[in-house]
Chain A
Amino acid sequence: MAAPPSGPTAATSIGEIWDDLRNIAGAEHLRSAVGGDSVAGVQPQMVLEPSNDTELAAALRCAEAAGLCVVPRGGGTKIGWGNRPVRADLILSTARLNRIIEHAWADLTVSVEAGCTIQNLQNTLAQHGQHIAVDPLWPERATVAGMLSTNDSGTLRIRFGALRDLVIGVTIALSDGTLASSGGKVVKNVAGYDLPKLVTGALGTLGVITRAVFRLHPLPRKEHSFTFVARDLADANRLALAVQDSRLAHTGLQARFDAATAPEVDVRFEGTDAGLTAQAEVVRKLVAPAAEIPSGNAVWQARQQLWAGPAAIAKLSTLPASVSEICGRLRRLADSAGLRWSAVVQGTGLGWLRLEGSSPPAIHRVLHTLRIELERAGGSLTLLRSVDAMPAMDAWGSGGDALPLMLKVKQQFDPHGTLNPGRFIGGI
C-alpha cells in the first residue's frame, strides 16, 4: 500500500489549489472548513460543492495532482463510520448533485444523482406507487451515495435483497478524474464487470459515486406488523427461525434484545387483505405459545433508536441459527463488565448492538472479545461508533486472505491513496 499523499507538493502552493478549485466549481462553492466539517477528529481545510459530475471529477483530478486527501461527503450522517482518516484536506460534498434524473416508473427504475436524500427520492417515487425497497438510517438527511458507500439497507432486506441487489448502474469519478459508468438502466444486464457492487460498501475509497440507477418495487398495498414476546434469547431465536423456515412471505423479521426486558420478535407482512389475514393466522400458530403484544410501524425504527445518546455502536454478522448464542455471549460479557447493552438482530443474521457504561476500556474489551468469537465462527463485527476515551479499535476486523486482493483493487482505482486514506479495511 502506497503511503497517502503528504499534502500540497512544493510545486503547488495552497493558494494555487484554492484558485484551481474555485475555477472549477465557482468561488461561492468553495469555502474553508470549520469545526463541524471534521472527520472522525481530523480537521480538513476546504469544502467544495460541485454542481455536476464533470466538475466533481475535475476537482478530484486537481486534488490528486496537488497531493491532497479527499473525503467525499453526502448528508454527513455516517461520516464517522470507518477508521480515522490518515489525512483529510478537502471535503468533496455532493450536496448540489441532488437531481432525480429519470423515474422510469413503467420500467420500475430510477436514475438519481449522488446527493439526493433518500426521503426526497422516496417521496418522488411514491407518486407512482413505487419505492426503492430499502429503509436506511436517517433517510431525511442520508443521501443515495452515502447509503451505497456504507451499504446501509435496513429491515426490508430480508425480502427484497441488499443494496447490491437493487443498484443496477453507477457513474463514478476516479481520483485521476476519469468518469466511468457501469451497469445500466435495465435490471438484467451481464455486460462487463459489476462495478455497482464493487463500490457499494467501499466507503468512497475507490471512487466518488456521482449517479446511481436502482430497480424499484411497488409500494405495499397494505402492511401489518406483529410483535411477540419471547421467554429468553433462545426462545427469540427459535421464533425467528420458525418464521424464516416457514412459507410465509414476511418483509421484516427482527429480534430486539436488551438487558432489562424479555426479548421481542417483530414480523411484518405486506399484500392484499386476503393475504394478510391468512398470514396473520399462520404466524400466530407458528410462534405459539409466545404472547402477542400491540405492534406497529414504529418497531422498525429500533435500529435507528440504538443511536440515541452516547454509546458504542457496532454491526455484527452471524449465521441466523447462531443469533442466540452470540447474544448470550454478549450478555455474559456485558454483565460481567457492568455495561448496559441492547441489540436489534434481523432474520438475516445481521445485527446492531449498543454498549454503554462508565468504563470505555470495558466497552473496548467486550467488543474485541465478541469480534474474535464472531470471526472464529465465520462472522464479523464492524465498529460504527466509538465512545470518548475508548482505546483505539480497528473498525473492520479481519479481511482474511482476500485482503491482498482488496489492496490491489485499491491500488488500481486510487493509486495515490487520495480518497479517504486509512479509513477502510486493512489500512486502505
Chain B
Amino acid sequence: MDARILQEFRAVAGERGLITSQEELKTYECDGLTNFRVVPQAVLLPRSTEQVQRIVRLCHREHIPFVARGSGTGLSGGALPVQNGVVISLARMNRILEVDLANARVVVEPGVANLEVTERVAPHGFFYAPDPSSQSVCSIGGNVAENAGGAHCLKYGFTTTHVLGLEVVLPDGTLAHLGGKTLDTPGYDLPGVFVGSEGTLGIATKIILRIVKRPECVQTLLAAFGSTSEAGAAVSGIIAAGMLPAAIEMMDHLAIQAAEAAVHADYPDCGGLLLVELDGPMAEVEALMRHVDEICRKCGAGEIRVAQTEAERTLIWKGRKAAFAAVGRISPNYIVQDGVIPRTALPRIMSEIERLGAEAKIRVANVFHAGDGNLHPLVLYDRRVEGQEHAAEVLANRILELCIEAGGSITGEHGVGEEKKMMMSKMYAEPDLETMQRVRCAFDPEQLSNPTKVFPRPRLCGESPGEYRPHPLETAGIAERF
C-alpha cells in the first residue's frame, strides 16, 4: 500500500492503531472459517466513531475496500479480508456506554462481547437474549453483522429482535442513526435491513440493545432416545401440544460422544439426546414440564433428567455449547455446516444425511436447534487422507442442497459470507438477488464495504434488472414461490 496513504491512516489511528507488519497481519488473514485466507494490506484499530469515519472517508476517497471485524469468531468468512483491502477492527471500541434499566435498554460499542452485556445487567434480573455458542468472546458488532442467533432464539428471537437502533458509518464516511431507543421510529426499517447484512452496508459504531427480564423459573430436561428420529417425534409432540419452549436442542450419538470427551457433561449414552428448556412463571413451567416428560416417555425416551440445580443446568449447556469444538476430539478436521429445514422434514433429512455420509465414507455428527429446524451437521474428515477433504466439502454442500429442496435455508445463523455466496443462486432466483442488491446500491454504490461477500455476483449499481424468470426448482415443480 502506498506509503502516503499509510501515513494518513497512521495520522488518524495513531502508531498503535495501525498494523502493517506481515507477521502481525497474518493474525487477521481469516476468521473462524479457516480454509479461506487473505492477508490484508493493513489493519486499523480505531477507538472512536470519529476515527472510524475518518478511516472510511479515506478508504472512500482512495477506493480502498474495507472489511470490518469484531472478534473474528464468524463461521462463514464474513470477516475474511479482501484483496488490496484493509481490515477495520472494532476490538478497541469495547465500552458499554449506557445502561437504562427502567426502559430495558443498553447502549454499547461494537467491540463489547455478547456475554458482557448479560453480565452487566444480570445483578438487576435482566439478560441479553441472543446467545450464540461463542458468546463469551464474540462481539455485539459481529452479532449485528451476522444477525447471530443461539439456542434460545426459538422463543426470544435473534439479534435483529433485540437491536432497536444503530449508529452507522456509511461506506462514504457519512454518519447515520438508524432506528433509536423508542420503537417504530418513522420511516423505513433500516435497522432491520442493516442487521444481518454481513458488513456490506457500513460499520455499526453504536448499538442500542433491548434487554429482557430473567424469567422466574428455568427448567432444563434431558431425555435420552434410541435414535434422533424418536427424539424428533418428541419435538413434534411438544410443538403440537401448543408449547413454545425457550430452547429445544438435539444431539446425535457422535456429537454426544464428542461433548462427553471434551467437557464431561455427564450425558447419557444414547442415539438421540433431547434438551428441552422451559422458562416462565414457576407454576406454569412445572405444569408444562410434566407434559413434556409425558410426551418424551410416549416417544420412547429411556432416561429423563431434569436439572435440579443451576450448576447441573450450566453443565448441560456447557456440553451443548462446546459441541463444535469438541468434535476436534474425535476427528482431526471438520466442517461446521449451518442449514435450516422446516422442522417436520427432520426425520427425512436426517436419514438422507446418514445415507450420503455412508456412501462417501464420511462421518457426520449432528447438533441441532431442533425447535426451529436449524441443523449443524459437523462433517468429519482427515486432511491427511488423500481426497477426504474434497469429499467432505462435497457432502457439506450436498446437505445444503437438501435444505433448499426441503424449502429451507442455506444458513440459519452463521451467515453467507465468503463460504456460501455461490449457494445463494441455488436458494434464490436472479430477480430476488438483484432486488436485494438494490439495497446494497443505496448504501454502498461503490461497493467498498466488505465487497465480494454474500452475493454470487455483484450488481453494478445503475444496471437495470431483468424481468422475472422462474427459478429452476420452480420449473421442476420442486419449489413454489411463497
**Selected interface stretch from A139-147, A178-186, A304-312:** A178-186
B411 contacts which chain A residues (CB < 8 A)? 189-191
Report whether A182 and B436 are in contact in the complex, using a CB–CB cutoff of 8 Å.
yes
Q: How far is the CA of A152 from the CA of B102 in the complex (A)?
A: 26
Is A413 among interface residues, defined by CB-CB distance under 8 A? yes
Is A41 among interface residues, defined by CB-CB distance under 8 A? no
Which of A57, A187, A425 has the most C-beta atoms of chain B within 10 angstroms of its own C-beta? A187
Is B409 among interface residues, defined by CB-CB distance under 8 A? yes
Number of A-B residue pairs, CB cutoff 8 Å, is 294
Which of B181, B185, B216, B407 has the most C-beta atoms of chain A within 10 angstroms of its own C-beta? B185
Is B433 among interface residues, defined by CB-CB distance under 8 A? yes
A109 contacts which chain B residues (CB < 8 A)? 342
Q: How far is the CA of A107 from the CA of B236 in the complex (A)?
A: 9
Q: How far is the CA of A232 from the CA of B481 in the complex (A)?
A: 53
B170 contacts which chain A residues (CB < 8 A)? 405
Report whether B467 and A349 are in contact in the complex, using a CB–CB cutoff of 8 Å.
no
Q: How far is the CA of A244 from the CA of B422 in the complex (A)?
A: 45
Report whether A184 and B189 are in contact in the complex, using a CB–CB cutoff of 8 Å.
no
Report whether B187 and A198 are in contact in the complex, using a CB–CB cutoff of 8 Å.
no
Is B293 among interface residues, defined by CB-CB distance under 8 A? no
Give A96-132 interface residues, CB cut-off 8 Å to B: 101-102, 104, 106-109, 111, 129
A180 contacts which chain B residues (CB < 8 A)? 431-432, 434-436, 468
> Contact check: which of B146, B181, B424 meets A192 at CB < 8 Å?
B424
A186 contacts which chain B residues (CB < 8 A)? 340-342, 372-373, 407-409, 412
Report whether A171 and B281 are in contact in the complex, using a CB–CB cutoff of 8 Å.
no
Report whether B482 and A101 are in contact in the complex, using a CB–CB cutoff of 8 Å.
yes
Is B287 among interface residues, defined by CB-CB distance under 8 A? yes
Is B160 among interface residues, defined by CB-CB distance under 8 A? yes
> Contact check: which of B147, B442, B481 meets A408 at CB < 8 Å?
B442
> Contact check: which of B146, B154, B281 meets A248 at CB < 8 Å?
B281
> Contact check: which of A54, A188, A409, A425 meets B412 at CB < 8 Å?
A188
Is B267 among interface residues, defined by CB-CB distance under 8 A? no
**Selected interface stretch from A27-35, A275-283, A328-336:** A275-283
B160 → A minimal CB distance (Å): 7
> Contact check: which of A179, A195, A378, A405 meets B190 at CB < 8 Å?
A405
> Contact check: which of A107, A187, A189, A400 meets B177 at CB < 8 Å?
A400
**Selected interface stretch from A13-21, A71-79, A318-326, A355-363:** A318-326
A297 contacts which chain B residues (CB < 8 A)? none
B313 contacts which chain A residues (CB < 8 A)? none
Which of A169, A193, A248 has the most C-beta atoms of chain B within 10 angstroms of its own C-beta? A193
Which of B174, B184, B372, B415 has the most C-beta atoms of chain A within 10 angstroms of its own C-beta? B184
Report whether B157 and A378 are in contact in the complex, using a CB–CB cutoff of 8 Å.
no
Report whether B192 and A164 are in contact in the complex, using a CB–CB cutoff of 8 Å.
yes
A53 contacts which chain B residues (CB < 8 A)? 481
What are 10 sample pairs from A and B whose C-beta atoms fall under 8 A apart? A186-B341, A188-B372, A189-B340, A190-B147, A191-B420, A241-B102, A318-B182, A402-B178, A403-B187, A412-B441
A contact residues vs B (CB 8 Å cutoff): 53-54, 57, 101-102, 104, 106-109, 111, 129, 151, 161-162, 164-165, 169, 171-172, 174, 176-182, 184-195, 197-198, 200-202, 206, 211, 213, 217-219, 221, 241, 244-249, 271-272, 274-275, 277-279, 282, 315, 317-321, 348-350, 378-380, 382, 396-406, 408-409, 411-413, 424-426
Closest 9 interchain pairs by CB? A197-B192, A275-B284, A218-B242, A180-B435, A278-B283, A412-B438, A408-B442, A188-B412, A189-B409
